[in-house]
Structures are given as structure tokens and as C-alpha cells.
Amino acid sequence: MMKPEPSTLVRVLIADDQALLRAAFKTLLETAVDVQVVGEAGTGTKAVRLAQTLRPDVVLMDIRMPELDGLRATAEICADPALAACRVLILTTYETDEYVAEGLRSGASGFIGKGIDADGLIEAVRTIARGDTLLSPAATRSLVERFLAAPRTDPGRQPAQLAELTPREREMVALAATGLSNIEIADRMYLSPFTVRAHVQRAMTKLNARDRAQLVVIAYQSGLVDNPGGNAPGNT
């Protein structure tokens, strides 16, 4: 099967300090006709340099790398105005609250574990390239637990905001809070991904959530979704 035209390809830069893993990720990603690996980096410093040179759509970024770790490399890439269209997807074995929170603060658009399968990895790259934010269920739980541990400055604020949501928007927020992507929600609800994205974006606007990660936190803090230690929808 022929590759799509260059303008429709998702161009990916892989940054990982292990050559074997880079090769494995490249092999997996290039089984998709719409994904092209345009470069590889074994250090954070090289990842930043190649991002500036190659201008990929997505950087698949490991956290623990020599010279410059993945979080600092992510921060440099996301702070560069010339790379505004470049999105960073962090792929790591360390889905702890500290790494998840720091990765999002650095500007990462997604955070998934290295245990993800080939189809999940490809879909994650596509999701990030479309401009969506993606958190794995494990990363979502870590992030939520971190925020829930902090005192709430205004306990009555979130429920009042939630009252502005339509029933469908509340449903979309609850599903997004379990770490499901828009496509996964669409499959579950028999809707188009475009419709799901529209509902989620309207909910973010009404709740004053700057990104999907903050939307997840609001969902748990407000009681819309059960505590992540329990069985939230979609995580059974």
C-alpha cells in the first residue's frame, strides 16, 4: 500500500536513549500508512536540535535520557515559537504523579506508558497530531490523585460550573476523565469523533479548563466521577 501524500502524513521524531527501543517504535509506527518516522534522537539535546531542524508533527519523547532529560527537552521544544505546531507525546515506564504533572507543565500533549500495544501507540500519535490531549488511564489516575491531595480553594465552585453542562457534555467529561481518547469515546457512544470533540471543547469552555488534563481534575474534584481508587467508568 502506498503512503499518502506528504501533506497528509504524520511526521514523527522518536527520542529514546535505547537504540533497540527506537528501532522497535519505528517499526511499529511505520506499519501505519499515514505515519512517517523522520528522525531519531538518543539524547534530549539531540531531540531538541532535530525538532528544530525537521519540524515534526509529533515528538515521541522518553523521560530518562542523557545530556537533557525528556521533560526539560519537552519544555524547550514547547517554548520555541518556531515549533508551535510540534506536539510532544511522552512515552515512559514512569507514570507517576510527579512525572505526569511535570510533563504537562512542560507543555506535553500526551502521556502514555511503554506497555501500550502497537495499535494504541499509532492511535495515540494520530490523536496528538490532530491537536487533542491524550492521557493514559494510569497517567490520569496519577494526575488526579496529585490534585485531589491538594486543598480545594473553593469547594462550591465546581458543582456550580457543572450545572452549566448539558447531560451529554457531562457524559463526555466523565468518560474523558477515565483517560479515554475522543475516538474511544466515539466508539463507545456510537458518535463521530468530531461530535465528541465538540462536546468536550464546549465543556472545557464552560468549566474554564485550559486543557483536557484540567478537565479531568475538575471531573474528580466536583464528584462527577468517582475517586480514582474506585471503578470509574471505562476503567473496569
Output the pLDDT for position 52: 97
pLDDT in tens, 189-231: 999 988 998 999 899 888 887 667 667 777 877 777 765 444 3
d(CA 184, CA 182): 5
43-47, 98-102, 134-138: range with highest mean pLDDT: 43-47
Q: Which has more confidence, 31 or 151?
A: 31
- Is the residue at 233 inside a domain? no
Q: Which has more confidence, 104 or 174?
A: 174
What CATH number should be reported for the domain holding residue 200? Answer: 1.10.10.10
> Is the domain of 60 the same as that of 36?
yes
Q: Which residues on adjacent β-strands are paired with residue 91?
A: 112
Output the pLDDT for position 162: 79
Helix extents (H) in 94-221: 97-105, 118-129, 137-148, 157-162, 167-176, 182-189, 193-206, 212-221
Averaged pLDDT, 15-36: 94
Output the pLDDT for position 219: 80
Output the pLDDT for position 233: 38
Q: How far is CA 92 from CA 27, 112, 183, in A?
A: 18, 7, 22
Percent of the chain with pLDDT over 70: 77
> Is the domain of 117 the same as that of 210?
no
Single residue among 118, 144, 170 that ends a domain in this structure: 144
> Is the domain of 78 the same as that of 166?
no
> Is the domain of 10 the same as that of 113?
yes
Averaged pLDDT, 29-53: 96
Averaged pLDDT, 21-29: 93
d(CA 48, CA 77): 6
When computed from its CA atoms, the radius of gyration of the chain, rounded to whole angstroms, is 18
The predicted model scores a pTM of 0.66
Averaged pLDDT, 57-81: 93
Q: How far is CA 36 from CA 21, 57, 169, in A?
A: 17, 10, 35
Q: What is the pLDDT confidence band of residue 37, given thresholds at 50, 70 and 90? A: very high
pLDDT in tens, 109-152: 888 877 788 898 998 899 888 877 776 666 666 665 665 555 55
The residue among 87, 83, 126, 122 whose CA lies nearest residue 103 is 87
Single residue among 80, 114, 144 that ends a domain in this structure: 144
> Which structural domain range is residue 22 located in?
6-144
> Is the domain of 84 the same as that of 201?
no
- Average pLDDT of the chain is 81
